[in-house]
Structure 1
Amino acid sequence: MRALTFANYTDPRGLSWRELPMPVPGPGQVLVRVGAASVNPVDWHIYRGDPWVLRLKTRSKAGEPRGVGEDFAGIITEIGPGVSEYRVGERVFGTIPAAVQVAGAIADFVVAQPQWIARLPHSVPDQDGAAVALAGLTALQALRDAGAMRPGHRVLVWGGSGGVGHLAVQIAHLMGAGAVEAVCSSRNVDMMEELGADAVFDYTRGETPIGPYDLVIDTVCTASARTLRSMLRPGGTVVTIGALSGGRLLGPGGPIIRRALGAKVRGFKAKTIMTRVNHADLATLAEWMATGKLGVRIERDFPLAAAQDAYAVLEQGKVRGKLALVARVPKTGG
């Protein structure tokens, strides 16, 4: 089978397709024929080894081919021993935890554990399932777990038009937020309003949220601790998911660490999130998609074979929603 790989730290031009042996699911695993995948910022941090701190975990693997990508959707073609909850022919979607990623999801086939996947409703295209997996898990867990969002809370999503942000706007409403507001650029204001944002602030025009907010979900980490403190209610929380800038050593971790220190000085709660891949949350996302309550915005579809081009676009930033990779294989089975 074909798989997108890298042997040494590289940019998208250094990613290459290789012919690899057909994977065989072991005990407690399933084999999925990939119908679609999607790209995430964590992918390019891994294949670039940027920030450098990531290289401490992967140095021993330098020179050995590693797979690329986490999110996928497709059809189960084989089931390993001990798997009883799925059957051959079922459509599923999911994501490979970055900590265990070896083979990668941008391939003809991917081996997955049952807790990494959920059934994909018939009404949901493969590319939507693949695009929502990691970003949807991150948005849900940032709101529910790290942010402890409750019905009636006033929520701000800073960086609302990105992959996680545009899903967080919708999920906050689904969880009963009293109001959901968003920060984005001029070209994305209409998108935020269409997704249900109660107010939208255009940072390119100098518009700044006022608050008070119970919870801020921040995907860009550009606001100062002083600014955030001024817009939070007493006891309010900021959950930082990513950062636009950072040094080569720590990358996004640098601004996030500085924010945590600033929060201690200013006296508010600042949290981060490590996304947990689990079946229950994927199933919740699938139910919302099936009923039309949650929709992923895909700015552009790429053929699976053009994944390098998709990563080049992703690295430029400013993607509205998500980028999807489509294998364009015939759909069969359940």
Structure 2
Amino acid sequence: MTQSRTRPVTMRAIRYTAYGPPEALAVQDVPRPGIGDDEVLIRVRAASVNPGDLHYMRGTPYVFRLQAGPVRPRAHGLGGDLAGQVEQVGRNVTGLRPGDEVFGCGTGTLAEYVAVRHDAALARKPAGLSFEQAAAVPTAAVTALRACRGVRAGQKVLINGAAGGVGTFAVQIAKARGAEVTGVCGPANVETVRSIGADHVVDYTRQDFTRDGPRYDLLLDNVGNRTLAECRRTLAPGGALVPNSGTGGRWFGPLGRILRARLLAPVTRHRVVNFIAIPTRDDLTALCELIEAGQLTPVIGATYPLDQAAAAMAHLETGHARGKIVVTV
């Protein structure tokens, strides 16, 4: 008598086995994850991509390999932001049940299913957002939220890279806090930045924001295309510089510029604000409040299906993406 074998349940997911360009990414059929007592299984409907995904994909700067793997990636999935529906819950999970629509963070979210701890950065999806919009929120909007945490009503805020993923959220969050916001972007995105609430928009191809205009109480630099001295020149006395990007060597990349800014802070009249943008449930709750109040709307520049995730990463790698890039699953 022949025993029947149960075929393993599989899913489609993005996988890569070596550091390299987007072309190294492939859609594969892999086992669907199981869950523990404290986890939920989420059917992913959309995921967004972030610069951190590029670092893990490329294995650069090399400092990322301390976590990701020195020669080849330890984990073969990619993606951290998600929106979807709860498929299954562990026995210790309360507050969530199958069918609930959620958004937040996980590991390897460019996949049909992902297992996430119930106490991780996970929250109910705002009813007014699509899955694509909700997936655009977690990492970029939390970065903007923390960058703007000290902004007060009446202050002048400058956002370099205002049309990108973090920038579009930062413009709206700073406005919600009552600031007078100036956004710096390219000519193709001037109307986009104006439409999300910027009081003033600077086209960097026509105006040098480090030489022209008023002095600002806070500069959020999402681009890193100007020197630290030039950035400090834009600040009012006691103003704050928030370095969120920058070019650098293969060892430290943008982290090198952020570290230099921090080391210079004690000898300047300006503050340097550094933070680690690892989303929490409290962050997502605060963002939900802004979204439900009509003060925050995700800007999606492009969407790609899962089997074109490599094209989504290549688009992100150009450095000129408008808003967020989302992968539908």
Q: Give the TM-score taking structure 2 as reference length.
A: 0.91
Alpha-carbon distance in structure 1 between the residues aligned to 2:279 and 2:294? 23
Alpha-carbon distance in structure 2 between the residues aligned to 1:26 and 1:190? 48
Partner of 1:134: 139
Partner of 1:182: 183
Partner of 1:332: none
Q: CA deviation at 1:152?
A: 2.3
Partner of 1:331: none
SS for the counterpart of 1:205 is coil
1:59–1:276 Cα change, 3 Å: closer
- Contact 1:30 / 1:79 at 8 angstroms: preserved in 2? yes
Q: What residue identity is the alignment partner of 1:225?
A: L
The superposition leaves residues 268-311 of structure 1 with CA deviations (integer Å, 9 ceiling, x where unpaired) of: 21122211321121122223323432111111111122111111
The superposition leaves residues 169-188 of structure 1 with CA deviations (integer Å, 9 ceiling, x where unpaired) of: 001111222x0111111111
Give yes or no for the alignment of 1:151 onto 2:161. Answer: no
- Contact 1:237 / 1:268 at 8 angstroms: preserved in 2? yes
Partner of 1:113: 117
Q: CA deviation at 1:240?
A: 1.1
The superposition leaves residues 125-167 of structure 1 with CA deviations (integer Å, 9 ceiling, x where unpaired) of: 00000011110111001111xxx22222221111111100011
Partner of 1:25: 35
Alpha-carbon distance in structure 2 between the residues aligned to 1:128 and 1:22? 25
1:249 pairs, out of 248, 251, 261, with 251
- 1:193-232 to structure 2, matched below 5 A, reads 193-208=194-209, 209-232=212-235
Q: CA deviation at 1:90?
A: 0.5
Larger Rg: 1 or 2?
Answer: 2
- Contact 1:310 / 1:323 at 8 angstroms: preserved in 2? yes
SS for the counterpart of 2:170 is helix
- Contact 1:221 / 1:256 at 8 angstroms: preserved in 2? no
1:266–1:224 Cα change, 3 Å: farther
Q: CA deviation at 1:63?
A: 6.1
SS for the counterpart of 2:273 is strand
Alpha-carbon distance in structure 2 between the residues aligned to 1:64 and 1:41? 19
The superposition leaves residues 11-66 of structure 1 with CA deviations (integer Å, 9 ceiling, x where unpaired) of: 11111222222212213211110011111111010111011121222326836552
Partner of 1:55: 65
- Shifted more, 62-71 versus 111-120: the winner is 62-71
Structure with more helix by fraction? 1
SS for the counterpart of 1:156 is strand
The superposition leaves residues 55-86 of structure 1 with CA deviations (integer Å, 9 ceiling, x where unpaired) of: 22232683655210011100001011221121
Alpha-carbon distance in structure 1 between the residues aligned to 2:117 and 2:279? 11
1:63–1:84 Cα change, 3 Å: closer
Structure 1 moving runs of 4+ over 4 Å: none
Task: Please tell me the root mean square deviation across aligned C-alpha atoms, in Å.
Answer: 1.8
Name the % identity.
Answer: 39
Partner of 1:84: 94
SS for the counterpart of 2:36 is coil
Partner of 2:20: 10
1:239 pairs, out of 239, 242, 257, with 242
Alpha-carbon distance in structure 2 between the residues aligned to 1:283 and 1:122? 14
Partner of 1:285: 287
Q: Give the TM-score taking structure 1 as reference length.
A: 0.89
Q: What residue identity is the alignment partner of 1:325?
A: V
